[in-house]
Structure 1
Amino acid sequence: MEFDVVQGDIAAQSADALVNAAGTSLRMGSGVAGALRREAGEELNQEAMDEGPVDLGDVVVTDAYDLDAEYVIHAAAMAHYGDRQATAESVRDSTRNALETADELGCRSLVLPALGCGVAGFDLADGAAIIGDVIDGYEPETLEGVRFIAYSDEEYDAIRVATGTTESELSEGSEADQ
């Protein structure tokens, strides 16, 4: 399976599925969820909330509406009420469940943010390493490529270091996919 680290806005990405960094209520507030909601429309938020709440680490699939994707996979890496902190287990479980769900849907391409590392407060370097390990150990059925997306320069550098990805290892054309 091809693996890239790219920098950009997840809502501007083109793929079979985009992964939302969700809380267990599936209410789309800020960060990745807010970017996806703003681009897709309020229907995305409503459909997601209609499917919630879910257990920590679980995923839900919705239509992608106005995004350049077929699906949004909402991966609950953090609790939405009370303690909003993500854990190593919730990052690992939500990443694995997102990959498995993309495969079950027959997706060939997936864009994945640093689940649990934004508003949920999990350390970015640790989270990126966990996500990279899950991707590295995953044996796909239909999934051919995963783009691990970072919004800022700091995130991009931290994800590249944590996953051991260098500029020369990145696929040609990954920047054009943004």
Structure 2
Amino acid sequence: MQIEVRGGDILDFDVDGLVIPTNSLGTMVEGIAARARERLGAACEEAVTLHAPIAVGAALVTGAGALRARSLIHAPLVEVPGTRVSVESIRRATRASLLAATAHALERIAIPGMGYGDLGVSEEEASRAIIDEVRAYKSAHPVAVILVDEDEVMCQAFSAQVPP
């Protein structure tokens, strides 16, 4: 599997699937999920809450509306918004996202830094958890993973583990 690190807004990437870190309730009230809801409207959130609760370690694939991506992969990190994140929940959300990409034959997916900073995990721990899961995953899909974040420190943490 090809792994690439890029800076920028994940919502602007042209890929088959964008990973959207969320909560088990499916409410899109924080971070990337909130920005996706702002761009796509309430119907985006309703498509997720209809299937709630979504376990941490599971993922739900929906359409991406007007975004350049084909699909959104909603991956809960916590059960309820505002809860601190663990390294294990980052691993489980990453693994669930990869499994969802396989189930939907998504070739290129973008995964953001998840659970770092105020949410409880350092950039280094978060990047290591994500990259370890991506490297350990063996399947025909996805063929490429783009690790993306707007935060320079998170991008540096990704880059430190992924050779150019």
Distance in structure 2 (CA, Å) of the matches to 1:24 and 1:86: 13
Match in the other structure for 2:99: 100
Normalising by structure 1, we get a TM-score of: 0.85
Q: Calculate the aligned-residue CA RMSD, in Å.
A: 1.6
CA gap 1:88/1:152 in 2 versus in 1, 3 angstroms: closer
Contact 1:108–1:145 under 8 Å retained in 2: yes
Unaligned runs of 5+ in 1: 170-178
Runs of 4+ in 1 over 3 A off after TM superposition: none
Contact 1:79–1:86 under 8 Å retained in 2: no
Contact 1:109–1:144 under 8 Å retained in 2: yes
Distance in structure 1 (CA, Å) of the matches to 2:11 and 2:38: 8
Question: What are the equivalent positions in structure 2 for 1:1-178 lying under 5 Å apart?
Answer: 1-80=1-80, 84-117=83-116, 120-161=119-160, 164-166=161-163, 169=164
The percentage of counterpart residues that share the same residue type is 24
Distance in structure 1 (CA, Å) of the matches to 2:146 and 2:10: 10
Distance in structure 2 (CA, Å) of the matches to 1:118 and 1:95: 17
Distance in structure 2 (CA, Å) of the matches to 1:40 and 1:10: 14
Deviations 1:50-84 (A, max 9, x none): 11122222211111111112211100112215x71
Contact 1:78–1:120 under 8 Å retained in 2: no
Contact 1:27–1:45 under 8 Å retained in 2: yes
Unaligned runs of 5+ in 2: none
Distance in structure 1 (CA, Å) of the matches to 2:155 and 2:19: 17
Distance in structure 1 (CA, Å) of the matches to 2:70 and 2:64: 5
Normalising by structure 2, we get a TM-score of: 0.92
